Amino acid sequence: MYDTILYPTDGSKGADAVIDHARDLAGRYDATVHVLFVVDAEHVESGMAPRHDEDGRRVTGMMKREEELAGEGHMSRHDDGLFEALERQGHEVTEAIAETLRESGIEAVPVVREGEPFRVITDYATDIDADLIAMGTHGRRGISRQLIGSVTEKVVRTAETPVLTVRLDT
């Protein structure tokens, strides 16, 4: 039933909740899991980035320029600073998750792409002929959802591939 599962992740602790579901399904069906991290160029320019909290856990959110890029002037897609840091972070995250899956006997492919997250996710799912996309949702409602938007919601609405959503506790 499932040969190829796509697991998009931003490296956050909440996104880790989904991996158990992807691992279980991949194990049951001997499927390959593609672990996808999308570097969102729009948020690179505004300062949105994965980072580590005081306990060393990966989190996402706005970061102060002076913490990472002090004195580097305007952040843009072509700067050597933030974009490359995000890309490196994506490689670290996807490889670590893929290694964990491999230790469980599951074939895993780490992938980093750039672009608008929901489009990259749906396009990549089509490119690899994924049977399932497994991703988390925060379950926001009302004005919070309207203001923040939801990558998962956009994927659910636009993907031709079935989408398994897991409500995140964080």
Domain assignment present for residue 66? The answer is no
pLDDT for position 145: 45
What CATH number is associated with residue 143? 3.40.50.620
* Measured CA distances, 101 to 4, 33, 85, 97, 113 (Å): 14, 8, 24, 6, 20
Structural domain boundaries enclosing 113: 4-40+87-167
Q: Which of 107, 92, 139 is nearest to 31 (CA)?
A: 107
Task: Supply the Cα-derived Rg of the chain in whole angstroms.
Answer: 16
CA distance 149 to 20: 25
Burial 104-139 (b: 16+ CB within 10 A, else e): eebebebbbbbebbbebbbebbeebebbbbbbbbee
Domain assignment present for residue 68? The answer is no
Domain assignment present for residue 78? The answer is no
Domains held by the chain: number? 1
Q: Which of 73, 74, 61, 6 is nearest to 34 (CA)?
A: 6
Residue 167's pLDDT band (cuts 50, 70, 90):
confident
pLDDT for position 31: 98
Domain assignment present for residue 81? The answer is no
pLDDT for position 52: 52
Domain assignment present for residue 126? The answer is yes
Domain assignment present for residue 111? The answer is yes
Domain assignment present for residue 12? The answer is yes
Q: Rounded to two decimals, what is the model's pTM? A: 0.76
The rounded mean pLDDT for the chain is: 79
Compute the average pLDDT of residues 56-74: 43
Domain assignment present for residue 144? The answer is yes
